[in-house]
Amino acid sequence: MVRTSPDAEIARQILLGFDDYREHFRLITTGARARFEQAQWQDAQRASAARIALYEQKVGETAKDLRSRFAEGVLLDVQRWPQVKSAYIELINPRFDDELSETWYNSIFCMLFSHDCISDNTMFIHSTRPTNRAQERMAQTRRYRPAGDLHGVLAQILNDFAFAVPYDDLDGDLRRLEAQLQESLPDWVCKDPDLAVEVFSSALYRNKGAYLVGRVFTRDEQWPLVIPLLHPEGAGIVADALITDEAEVSIIFSFTRSYFMVEVPIPAEFIGFLKRIMPGKHIAELYTSIGFYKHGKSEFYRALINHLAVTDDRFIMAPGVRGMVMSVFTLPGFNTVFKIIKDRFSHTKNVSRATVIEKYRLVKNVDRVGRMADTQEFADFRFPKSKFDPECLAELLEVAPSTVEVQGDTVLVRHCWTERRMTPLNIYVDSASEQQVQEALEDYGLAIKQLAAANIFPGDMLLKNFGVTRHGRVVFYDYDEICFLTEVNFRYIPEPRYPEDEMASEPWYSVGPNDVFPEEFPRFLFADIKQRRLFAKLHGELYDADYWKGLQCAISDGKVIDVFPYRRKERAVQ
């Protein structure tokens, strides 16, 4: 009997842990179809949260199992881990999810060792997977040839994606989808004999929707194709819209939304398919969008270190009002901000470091409804000191000396979050046209309403805590005061007892820790009188305590709101 070396056995046990994680991930994901068919929206929310928590849970279980199987002197001998890595590479070479298994290995290593032990000899800092490796093809897409019959090909697509629940009005849906397709594409494309449609073989599920994702293409051009499907309670399936605009499709896969559930036998191939229809998306964001957020984090880190290696970019403080809790820096040529917690907060902020960390982690697990930026949490980032603007580094060392430290020619950032960089809303409206200001404030109010309907209260709703994306959407990104809406006590300001009460420096009424007075919002949110009046016209109900209480009642009754990531005018279900 041939005995397996400890290196090979450690590698094997790591991969067994990965297989266990992948199977549980698959089981949660495959249940999405039944939840959609049965309109089990609260179950869908719970499944989404469970799948997010699954990764850390299974990493912890695998690390615990390794510690129980191997002596500490064997397992924690970092000198043997280059051999463990080599053995692991041999094991994952035949796999179709090998890039994910590298990230899993990295997570196990970081669970066992301090970050001082990280190197490309012991971990997969750089992937060993060839970028364009020819893998065995699997039938992941379905192709259709309209041959001039758009109605017929759309009918075939919807019939190929039949559910246990029938379509509510298939003929009506088909007429509308055909009209939308003809309206969105040039006339010559619809008549091109070489026109083809390719659709991924599995639907993508998120919240209360299912999405058919593909592309429409000719010999020379292509357009993305997304058909959102809905299941109104007590009715049949509805094909809600047909979308071919790349910007609209990009928003559907936005960093501000919950992760899709989709069965992907070969993740890299599906990501390649998405990349073809959304070339502006980085693969890190695409992996994250389908639930592989840890691998998205790996790809983000690789893109970051590559950017630093090949450019002269230096970290600077991010534009905007300095935060009272967080300090934010950025790279001008890299579309990301880096957020660290200050050592001392403004006296007006009644939060602790632990509370801030808890709030930011909460955002990962809730439905962000397209209105909160996703974050990635990092520990022990190391950057060359030369990559920091001196003023930026000096400020970081001043406000967060426990987090940022200079070690020779290296800057150690012990803990930070990364977020997509956006234009702060207060800066945006200062330089925007009158029409742009109106559109931004309308979307700002919608963002607050949609977050509230999803049981999220931003806390600090100042314009500086919201950003504007490249698509013009307003997104919340400052989470240190975030809480569940149902935890807030919305009140009206009591009538003054005496005329002198209104002139007093202190309120004449008691204020509890969770009390919020919406009547105070106008003067807190808008110093600009013109903007204050415009917002009152657009969203005046936000100043009414009863509006917020009504949302709380709906949430307590178990209602799951509809917030869809595409324009209203394209929707069938209003």
- C-alpha to C-alpha distances, 407 to 254, 338, 410, 412, nearest whole angstrom: 37, 20, 5, 7
- C-alpha to C-alpha distances, 149 to 33, 35, 154, nearest whole angstrom: 29, 33, 9
3-class DSSP assignment, residue 537: helix
Long-range pairs for 530-538: beta carbons < 8 A, 24 or more residues apart: 531/429, 531/437, 531/441, 534/437, 534/438, 534/441, 535/441, 535/444, 535/445, 538/438, 538/441, 538/442, 538/445
What residues contact residue 456 under an 8 Å CB cut-off, 6+ apart?
366, 369, 372, 482, 483, 484, 485
User: What whole-number distance in Å separates Cα of residue 238 and Cα of residue 244?
Assistant: 18
User: What whole-number distance in Å separates Cα of residue 129 and Cα of residue 96?
Assistant: 11
Number of C-beta neighbours around residue 367 at 10 A: 23
**Secondary structure tally for the chain: helices H, strands E:** 20, 19
Q: Considering 192, 240, 374, 478, which one is annotated as catalytic? A: 374
Number of C-beta neighbours around residue 153 at 10 A: 20
3-class DSSP assignment, residue 559: coil
Active site residue 374: yes
Is-contact 148 135, C-beta < 8 A? Answer: no
Q: Which residues are catalytic?
A: 374
